[in-house]
Structure 1
Amino acid sequence: MAAIANVVVRQQKARGFATVAQFLKTDKTFAFAASDGNDRHKLLKNSSDKVVMASPGMSMAVRAARNALDPNGKDYSNGGYFWDGADIATNYDAHVKVKDGIKFTDPKHNIYNIKETVVPGEEWWLDAKRKPTRLRGKWNYKYESTAAYGGTIFWKYNADFLQATGNKVHK
């Protein structure tokens, strides 16, 4: 929960939104629990402070959010910008990250015992006629793990991919 809060705040800042609420209201697909009618999220939003603090789950969610918003808070995602749950294992062959290439930076991150995927790519500088002129860079995978907790794996883009493509770290 805390690592997801870290990723949400990191994405909010990277995308230039003033608040997490503004970010999640604008991009309803980023964190479905905040926009799809999730019962636990609804309960948290509709509960009094007293009820929230008496609930272990809700009080943990509040602590996670406060930590993520604190400039000196601990980053449980270790720099992650994305996350995946069990769908990466159950939908392995069709999963977009698997198709783009994944690398586990620590064996402990591979909580679903899935195979890493090497998917080489390269980017070229183009001339005015859109013809390749010079190799900008190569990569073997787009995503590398940063952490894993419970049933969630956290990811960031591989530095080689970012350098070769000029892609933003958060998109």
Structure 2
Amino acid sequence: MKDKKATLDAQTRRLAAMAYGESSPDNNADEIFALASVLVRQRDARGYSDMSTFVSSERSFSFVVSDGNPRYTQLMKATEAQIEKDRGMKTAIAAARNALAYGQDKSNGAYFWDGADIKSHYSTHPKVAVGIKFTDPSHNIYDIKESTKLVIKYKFTKKKVAGKITIEKTELYRYDHVYESTAAYGGTIFWKFNPDYVKFTHSKEYL
């Protein structure tokens, strides 16, 4: 039986379910709000107009949609009456509406996030491999070490001096990490690319 007054549109429900599914079980409101904002930012950056098209086209971005995540499934199947009575799901709906309206961004401009796997898989984690930096000690919720990978780009110029050709080496730029933390709530650390990395490599902020 459908709710008598169904007011929850498909995109809001999908986004809320994704943020709810990606968040930790303690239902930290800041964490859920931040996740919703990152998802909308990524949707927009990748050029999609709605969440359903985004998740069907970018299947690897948020695995909760297809990996049987129980929290995602719970919210997708819940009636609006059930959502209203559940603190976590109700928070997720509020977070989705805030993100879709471009309200307060608890993630502080993040494009990426990590949960506990960054600690359990630290030695092989792809972000750790290219360098991570905590911009605030409070973001290091898993008590892991920062990592660095120094990258230096040089320009080599041939010069002729006194009849001899020499090679002049000039440093163009350097950076030693790719990811910088922007916030951390519940069980999630939020990240964005190091501005120097984006500037010097001409990388996209979201990819």
Give the TM-score of the pair, scaled to structure 1: 0.90
* Matching of residues 52-67 of structure 1 within 5 Å: 52-67=83-98
- CA deviation digits over 1:16-65, x for unaligned, max 9? 01112211111111111122221221121112111111111111111111
Higher relative contact order (CA 8 A, sep 6+): 2
Q: Per the alignment, do residues 125 and 39 of structure 1 end up closer, same or farther by CA in structure 2, a change over 3 Å counting?
A: farther
1:125 and 1:42, CA in 2 relative to 1: closer, same or farther beyond 3 A?
farther
Contact kept, 8 Å, 1:2 with 1:65, in 2: the verdict is yes
Q: Give the counterpart of 1:141 among 158, 177, 180.
A: 177
Contact 1:137/1:163 (<8 A) preserved: no
2:79 to 40, 43, 48: 48
Q: Unaligned 5+ residue runs, structure 2?
A: 1-31, 157-168
Distance 2:155 2:64 in 1: 40
Equivalent residue for 2:163? none
Structure-2 separation of matches of 1:95 and 1:156: 16
Structure 2 partner of 1:24: 55
What SS is found at the alignment partner of 2:81?
A: helix
1:69 aligned onto 2:100: yes
1:155 to 163, 188, 191: 191
Offset of residue 134 of structure 1: 6.9
Asked if the contact 1:122/1:164 (under 8 Å) is kept, the reply is no
Q: What fraction of aligned residue pairs are identical, expressed as a percent? A: 46
Using the alignment, how far apart are the partners of 1:16 and 1:29 within structure 2? 16
| Equivalent pairs, count | 164
Measure how far apart 1:123 and its partner are: 4.2
Moved over 2 A (4+): 122-126, 133-137
1:110-151 deviations in Å (ceiling 9; x for gaps):
01111111211134679xxxxxx9755321100000000011
RMSD of the alignment, in Å? 1.7
SS in 2 for 1:83: strand
**Residues 136 and 12 of structure 1: is their aligned pair in 2 closer, same or farther, counting only changes over 3 Å?**
farther
SS in 1 for 2:60: coil
State how far apart, in whole Å, the 2-side matches of 1:99 and 1:42 are. 33
Q: 2: CA distance between counterparts of 1:56 and 1:2?
A: 14
Within the alignment, does 1:88 sit opposite 2:118 as a pair? yes
Q: Which runs of 5+ in 1 are unaligned?
A: 127-132
1:129 corresponds in structure 2 to none
**1:101 aligns to what?**
131
Letter in 2 for 1:116: E
